């Protein structure tokens, strides 16, 4: 796939699977905007990956915040061609283990 000069938004792109996705997209020539709550990690990523990566502080659970991120992405790079959603929270646990089902509280 030719990703040269395509513009991607990666939510949760400051860390983990999202950061790996950002790194790969940039290697392939894309421009990427990270939407994340973790400013420290996102700024590290921007520093390491260069001018084709930007960061906007976005809470994906907040509509206004997402709209702001989209507007800033268009301002910076003129378009959005790709969106990869990696933002989220999760703890590693079995749905059913020796002690029974995962507590509903943890799932929520
Ligand atoms: N890693 C795995 O093996 C695995 C397996 C299945 C599902 N998942 C899911 O995939 C997603 C990414 O996994 P990961 O391991 O990279 O997680 P991670 O915790 O390493 O990274 C998640 C990123 O999302 C950001 N984030 C969290 N809430 C946010 C919000 N409201 N707005 C914006 N950014 C937010 C965090 O700041 C963080 O940078 C998660 O939803 C996780 O539950 C992961």
The domains of the chain are located at 7-88
Which residue puts its alpha carbon closest to atom 19 of ligand 1?
89
* CATH superfamily name and code, 7-88: NAD(P)-binding Rossmann-like Domain (3.40.50.720)
Residue with the two structure tokens 């990703």: 3
Confidence of residue 41 (pLDDT cuts 50, 70, 90): very high
Phi first, then psi, for residue 9 (nearest 5°) are -105, 130
| pLDDT tens digits for range 85-103 | 999 988 788 889 998 999 8
What is the whole-number distance in angstroms between the Cα of residue 34 and the centre of ligand 1?
13
8-state DSSP, 103: P
Tokens of 47: 């520093």
pTM for the whole thing? 0.91
What is the Cα–Cα distance from 70 to 68, expressed in whole angstroms? Answer: 5
| Any ligand 1 atom below 6 A from CB of 89 | yes
Taking only Cα atoms into account, the Rg of the chain, rounded to an integer number of angstroms, comes to: 16
Tokens of 55: 């960061």
């Amino acid at each position: 796939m030719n990703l040269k000069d395509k513009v991607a938004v990666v939510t949760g792109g400051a860390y983990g699977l999202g950061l790996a996705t950002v790194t790969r997209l940039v290697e392939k020539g894309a421009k990427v905007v990270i939407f994340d709550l973790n400013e420290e990690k996102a700024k590290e990523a921007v520093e390491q990956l260069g001018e084709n990566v930007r960061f906007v502080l976005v809470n994906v659970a907040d509509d206004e915040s997402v709209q702001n991120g989209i507007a800033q992405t268009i301002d910076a790079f003129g378009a959005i061609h790709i969106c990869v959603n990696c933002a989220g929270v999760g703890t590693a646990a079995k749905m059913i283990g020796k002690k029974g089902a995962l507590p509903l509280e943890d799932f929520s």
